[in-house]
Every structure is written in C-alpha cells, then in structure tokens.
C-alpha cells in the first residue's frame, strides 16, 4: 500500500503478521509521554516491549502499560538497542542529542520537538494532511508538528484541497499543557490559591496564570516582533500545506485552560467559497468534527476538545472585511496533547506500520 492512499488515515494499526515492535518513549514521565503511553494502549498499537525513558530524576519510577508496571529508565546513548520505534517528547535539545543514537540503532524516530521540523530532509507530517511525505524519510526520522500548526492544518486542509488558501490570519488561545506537566500543575495550584485568597508566586510561567492570559512565553524576534511560537506556527503551516510562501500572521496567547488549544482563523482563498461548501467539506473530512450549531450557540470549546481525537471546527462565516467574498472565518479547538502531540505521533507510526515501512 502506498502512503498516499486514503487507507493510511486515522485508523488504528491492525498489524497482521510481523513481530510485535519494541517501542521507546523518550520523555515518558511528561504530559505528552503519558498520552503517548495511553494512545499506544487504546489504539492497539503492536507493542512487544515498551521502554520508558526520562531523565535520571525519574529512573526507577513505575508507570502502567496494559495494566502492568513498567520501570522508567534514565535515557542514555545505549537506550535504543533493539528498538524499532522511538517516540521523542523531551524537548529539542534532548532530541538533537539522542535521536541520532536511536537512528544509529536502526529505529524509526518520530520526534515531537522542534529540533528537526524545518529540516528539509525531514518530513513534517500530519497524516490527514500529507501522509505521502512519509515516503520521503531516508533517515527514518519524521517530525511531528507544533501543536497549533497540526490542529490548524487538520481544519484547513479539507478547504485548501478544494480552494487554494492564499492568506491566513490567526489568534490562538493556548492551553497550559503546551508548556508541559509542570505548567498544568501551576494552573491548578495558582487557581486554588486565588480561590482561597492566598498569594501565589509563579514558578514555571512568567506571569500569574489564574484568571489571566498572556502572550506566549517564547522569545520575541526583534526583527519581526513575532514571538518564537508565532514564527513556528507560520513556518510549519507553510510546510504542512505545501505552500512555502503562504502569507500568514498569528498572535499566540496562553489562556488558563488545561489541555486543549483553540484558535480563531480568518482564511482567504484564491476563489470564492460559500459557508455551505466549507461546512460540507469539513463534515466529511478525516480527523474533523463539525461543531457549528448556530441556533444553539454551540461551537468548538476546549472543554469538548479535551480528550477528543478529532479537531473541532465551527463558527464558519464569510469574512465581512473581504468584499471579494473569498474569505472565511472559523473557530477551531483541538486537544494539544492528542492531535497536537501524542495522537499525531502514534498515527504517524500506525501509517508506517500499515505500509510495512516499520
Ligand atoms: P523527567 O520527568 O525525568 O524530568 P513535560 O514536557 O511535561 O515537562 O515533560 C518533559 C519530559 O522530558 C519528562 O519526561 C522529562 O523527564 C523528560 N526530560 C527532560 N529532560 C530530559 C533529559 N535531559 N533526558 C531525558 N529526559 C528528559
């Protein structure tokens, strides 16, 4: 089967004959790591041995997989002996240092960090959007996109496939989980403190988080005035939509939500597109759940996106500021830990299994 076949999309791996795989998770104790373990289990990924890797701080801790305890090991250069698939989610510096060791051991690497996403030789993949790029991974290394870029691409691809997207303006409402498990804990603790009327000093994020929101913590580029997150989203969306010059602008904001990102997107197309057309295309798109109940004022919400595999899309309307009627505005919500990270990584691995690449 070719990787460009629709069959690679969003179906759990049913691995027929070959041996079960040895799978390593780097960053197993983190927020994404926990979801990687859960996704492998609930989607029936053909795991023979699961190797859980983290920093020496976590060595000896046990986590559960299929009801059995698995001991966390400290990551080192020898961690990948016999590993078929290594799922990395411990930050870019860890990926840069250890992904080569995994590749040298013969493993396929799916990397959730930003380390290789803009590397031309490394496919940046959301299976619903560009699974065909998995055919082009000579280094057996696949990059998993930034969470906002992945979620936006799932919502935009069904439209882009019919009417070329020519401009995107977006504003994001990003959850704590994007900054890791410690930031999620800081949201809980700071909210509890605020409700109790107690003082709270932020430890993880730069600003008070309870009942507040603030610009994403990535450093601002002095030349453009955009922060690192905004620049990543723009660059990665261009890659995912195979539109290298696509004009795009984002404002990325951290909001006090635990694990689902939301975003308002205003998108211009090369030709006019009606709301009815967009709704019909999105309703049948893989990985999308249309949530567009105008009468009930029910649109995508982080509370309903949390824990969901699908990206929720709604509030679809013609952009009144574009007299050519070539622009739509939409509101989108997706689970940052799932489609924005762990689920997408596991779907990439499933696509590799289905085609026999892995
Ligand atoms: P540990 O828990 O031992 O620090 P999150 O994004 O939720 O903060 O999680 C980050 C993950 O990356 C954790 O599993 C963390 O392990 C892991 N990690 C961080 N630094 C390293 C490192 N130098 N080597 C291995 N794993 C690391």
- pLDDT digit string (tens) for 157-195? 999 999 999 999 999 999 999 999 999 999 999 999 999
Mean pLDDT is lowest, of 4-18, 23-37, 46-60, 142-156, for 4-18
Instruction: Report the chain's C-alpha Rg in angstroms.
Output: 20
Judge if the beta carbon of residue 27 lies within 6 A of ligand 1.
Answer: yes
Q: Count the helix, strand and coil residues of the chain and give each as a percent rounded to the nearest 5.
A: 35, 25, 40
Measure the CA–CA gap between 34 and 181, rounded to whole angstroms.
Answer: 10
Cα 34 to averaged position of ligand 1 atoms, centre (Å): 12
pLDDT tens digits for 204-249?
Answer: 999 999 999 999 999 999 999 999 999 999 999 999 999 999 999 9
Percent of all residues in the chain with a pLDDT value above 70, rounded to a whole number? 95
CATH number of 6-145+341-354: 3.40.50.720
Measured in degrees and rounded to the nearest 5, phi and psi for residue 161 equal -70, -25
**CB-ligand 1 contact for 300 (6 Å cutoff):** no
CB 299 within 8 A of CB 293: yes
Q: Is the CB of 94 under 6 A from ligand 1?
A: yes
The whole-number average pLDDT for the span 314-324 is 97
With 90 as the cut, is the pLDDT of residue 34 above it? Answer: yes
Ligand 1 centroid–CA 55 distance in Å is 6
pLDDT at 11: 47
- Residue-wise pLDDT tens digits, 103-125: 999 999 999 999 999 999 999 99
For residues 85 and 357, what is the distance between their CA atoms, to the nearest angstrom? 11
Active-site residues, by number, are 147, 261
Q: Which of 94-103, 130-139, 300-309, 310-319 has the lowest mean pLDDT?
A: 130-139
pLDDT of 5 strictly over 60: no
Test site for ligand 1: of 29, 31, 74, 204, most ligand atoms within 8 A of the Cβ: 29
Average pLDDT, integer, range 68-79: 98
Does ligand 1 come within 6 angstroms of the Cβ of 90? yes
Given the CA of residue 28, which atom of ligand 1 is nearest to it?
14
What is the predicted pLDDT for the residue at 10? 45
User: What stretch(es) of the chain map to CATH 3.30.360.10?
Assistant: 149-336
Mean pLDDT of 55-79: 98
Q: Give dist(CA 248, CA 232) in Å, integer.
A: 11
CA 12–ligand 1 middle distance (angstroms): 27
d(CA 251, CA 216): 9
Helix (H, G, I), strand (E, B) or coil at 5: coil
Whether residue 54 is predicted with pLDDT greater than 70 in this model: the reply is yes
CA–CA distance, 151 with 159 (Å, rounded to integer): 14
Q: How remote is the CA of residue 346 from the centroid of ligand 1, in Å? A: 19
Name which residue sits closest to atom 18 of ligand 1, judged by CA. 90
Residue nearest atom 6 in ligand 1 by C-alpha distance: 180
Query: What pTM was computed for the model?
Result: 0.95
Q: Is the CB of 340 under 6 A from ligand 1?
A: no
Compute, in angstroms, the gap from residue 77 CA to the centroid of ligand 1: 16
Q: How many CB atoms within 10 Å of residue 120?
A: 7
The pLDDT of 62-67, averaged and rounded, is: 98
Rounded CA-CA distance 347/350 in Å is: 5
Q: Is 59 in the pocket of ligand 1 (CB under 6 A)?
A: no
State the pLDDT confidence band at 266, using cuts at 50, 70 and 90.
Answer: very high
CA-181 nearest atom, ligand 1: 7
Indicate which residue's Cα is closest to atom 8 of ligand 1.
Answer: 180
User: SS3 of 29, please?
Assistant: coil
What pLDDT does 19 receive? 83
**Is the CB–ligand 1 distance for residue 74 below 6 Å?**
no
The pLDDT of 272-291, averaged and rounded, is 98
Q: Which of 159, 322, 317, 124 is nearest to 233 (CA)?
A: 124
Q: What's the pLDDT at 333?
A: 99
Determine the pLDDT at residue 219: 97
Distance from residue 234's CA to the centre of ligand 1 (Å): 27
Give the mean pLDDT of the chain.
Answer: 95
More confident residue, 336 or 4: 336
In this prediction, residue 17 carries a pLDDT of: 37
- Residue 58 carries which DSSP code? G
Lookup: tokens for 234: 């723009």
Q: Which residues of the chain form CATH 3.40.50.720?
A: 6-145+341-354
**Closest ligand 1 atom to the C-alpha of 57?**
3
Residue with the smallest CA separation from ligand 1 atom 14 is 27
Give 12-28 pLDDT, tens digit per residue.
454 443 689 999 999 99
* C-alpha–C-alpha distance, residues 305 and 293, integer Å: 16
Q: Distance between CA 355 and CA 125 in Å, rounded?
A: 15
pLDDT of 138 reads 87
Fold designation for 149-336: Dihydrodipicolinate Reductase; domain 2 (3.30.360)
Task: Provide the terminal-to-terminal Cα distance of the chain, rounded to the nearest Å.
Answer: 13
Question: Which residues are CB-neighbours of 63 under 8 A, at least 6 positions away?
Answer: 28, 29, 34, 37, 52, 69, 70, 72
């Amino acid at each position: 089967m070719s990787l460009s076949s629709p069959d690679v999309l969003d179906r759990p791996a049913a691995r027929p004959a070959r041996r079960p795989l040895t799978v390593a998770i780097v960053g197993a104790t983190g927020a994404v790591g926990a979801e990687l373990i859960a996704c492998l289990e609930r989607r029936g990924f053909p795991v023979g041995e699961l190797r859980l890797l983290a920093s020496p701080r976590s060595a000896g801790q046990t986590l559960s997989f299929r009801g059995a305890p698995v001991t966390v090991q400290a990551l080192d250069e020898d961690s990948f002996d016999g590993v078929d698939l290594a799922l990395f989610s411990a930050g870019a510096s860890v990926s840069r240092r250890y992904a080569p060791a995994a590749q040298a051991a013969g493993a396929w690497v799916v990397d959730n960090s930003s380390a290789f996403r803009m590397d031309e030789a490394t496919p940046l993949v959301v299976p619903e959007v560009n699974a065909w790029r998995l055919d082009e991974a000579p280094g057996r290394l696949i990059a998993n996109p930034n969470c906002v870029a992945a979620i936006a691409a799932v919502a935009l691809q069904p439209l882009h496939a019919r009417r070329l997207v020519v401009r995107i303006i977006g504003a994001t409402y990003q959850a704590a989980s994007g900054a890791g498990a410690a930031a999620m804990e800081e949201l809980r603790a700071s909210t509890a403190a605020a409700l109790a009327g107690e003082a709270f000093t932020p430890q993880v994020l730069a600003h008070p988080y309870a009942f507040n929101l603030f610009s994403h913590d990535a450093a601002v580029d002095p030349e453009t005035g955009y922060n690192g997150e905004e620049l990543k989203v723009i660059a990665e969306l261009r890659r995912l939509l195979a539109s290298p010059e696509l004009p795009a602008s984002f404002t990325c904001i951290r909001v006090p939500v635990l694990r689902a990102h939301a975003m308002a997107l205003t998108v211009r197309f090369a030709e006019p597109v009606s709301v009815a057309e967009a709704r019909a295309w999105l309703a049948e798109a893989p990985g999308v759940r249309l949530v567009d109940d105008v009468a009930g004022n029910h649109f995508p919400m982080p509370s309903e996106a949390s824990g969901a595999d699908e990206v929720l899309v709604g509030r679809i309307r013609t952009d009144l500021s574009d007299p050519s009627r070539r622009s739509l505005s939409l509101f989108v919500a997706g689970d940052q830990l799932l489609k924005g990270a762990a689920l997408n990584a596991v779907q990439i691995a499933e696509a590799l299994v289905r085609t026999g690449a892995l």
